[in-house]
Amino acid sequence: MAISSPKDITPPSLQEDGKLAGDKVAAFMMHGRDWDGSQDPSGWIMSEKLDGVRAFWNGSKLYSKNGKELPVPAEFTSTLPKDVFLDGEIWVGYDTLSKLTSILKKSVNMKNEPTRGLLWKDVRYCVFDSPMHPGNYQERHAHAAEAVSECGTNIHLIPIEFCSGLDHLQNKLDQIVELKGEGIMLYNPEATYSSGRNSNILKVKMHLEEDVTFLECNPNSYSFKCQQSNGIQCMVKCSSWDYTHPPPNGTSLTVRHNGYFKTSRKIKYPFLLRINQSNSII
């Protein structure tokens, strides 16, 4: 199968300056909705949902879901195709999101390429889609597979398989959670790539996410004192880097948690996932 050039299938509205970059990337990217259990997964395509940072390759640079250019070393993307757009996640490993966010933040002002390359030695770009291909998900995934087949060892393709039903989905989710993974993505096998959040992609996760408001640092541990939307205060665990670089008071934070305590309605075991600032990388 020949690899199509982006210029052949890029929507005209994105071709005004010949580039898909920055805010245009953010507007173009497709995002899934949470699976609520009512959708029968039989016949849908499933793949592992990695606990990383979303990264869109436009043929020359990697961008986050916010349209920010990711501060990757030149060597990291040197083997990626220049004529194919890719969607994926940069990832270090299971249960290491805080390590990855620390790498990203340290890389922003790092000018020494060899030093930055060493910092990124364990990071991988894990591809799951070829957004500009006009086909359904299976066709786009096959297109992405061919595009990265001769890339460097830091570039990976996330495998896919058809889901046979709820038991298959639950067994797969249990395997991933056992590895301390995040969850599963379900894809409508017939849907094309469509910008924005839609129900042709469903996220199946064991963890929940919620936005809280930062109040202050906890002087006794690496955690932030925050306020939930219901007015209840909680302590949110964070990395040492985030603790020493706290956001301004009142900043919105997205945290991952394990549900709510029945009586207090306080979220269980919250951990900082990201800081929601306009200048945030991720």
pLDDT in tens, the chain (282 residues): 333 333 334 443 343 345 678 788 989 999 999 887 888 999 999 999 998 999 999 999 999 999 999 999 999 999 999 989 999 999 999 988 888 988 999 998 888 888 888 999 999 999 999 999 999 999 999 999 999 999 999 999 999 999 999 999 999 999 998 898 889 999 999 999 999 999 999 999 877 788 999 999 999 899 999 999 999 999 999 988 899 999 999 999 999 887 788 788 888 889 898 898 765 656
Distances (CA, A) of 72 to 32, 100, 103, 138: 26, 12, 10, 29
Measured CA to CA, the distance from residue 85 to residue 157 in angstroms comes to 14
Specify the pLDDT at position 4: 36
Residues 6+ away with beta carbon under 8 Å from 258 = 207, 208, 268, 269
In CATH terms, the fold of domain 208-276 is OB fold (Dihydrolipoamide Acetyltransferase, E2P) (2.40.50)
pLDDT of residue 207: 74
**What's the confidence (pLDDT) of residue 97?**
84
CA trace torsion 159, 164, 167, 172 (10° rounding): 0
Q: Give every strand in the sheet of 161-162, ordered side by side.
A: 30-34, 196-205, 183-187, 45-49, 161-162
Predicted confidence at residue 187, as pLDDT, reads 98
The predicted structure's pLDDT at residue 120? 94
Taking 3-state DSSP, the helix, strand and coil percentages for the chain, each rounded to the nearest 5, stand at 25, 30, 50
Q: What is the pLDDT of residue 35?
A: 87
Q: Are 182 and 49 in contact (CB under 8 A)?
A: yes
Domain 17-205 belongs to what topology?
D-amino Acid Aminotransferase; Chain A, domain 1 (3.30.470)
Please tell me the pTM assigned to this model.
Answer: 0.73
| Rounded-to-integer distance, Cα 110 and Cα 89, Å | 22
**pLDDT, position 279:** 56
Q: What is the pLDDT at residue 31?
A: 94
| pLDDT confidence of residue 13 | 39
Q: Write out the residue limits of the CATH 3.30.470.30 domain(s) in the chain.
A: 17-205
What whole-number distance in Å separates Cα of residue 78 and Cα of residue 120? 13
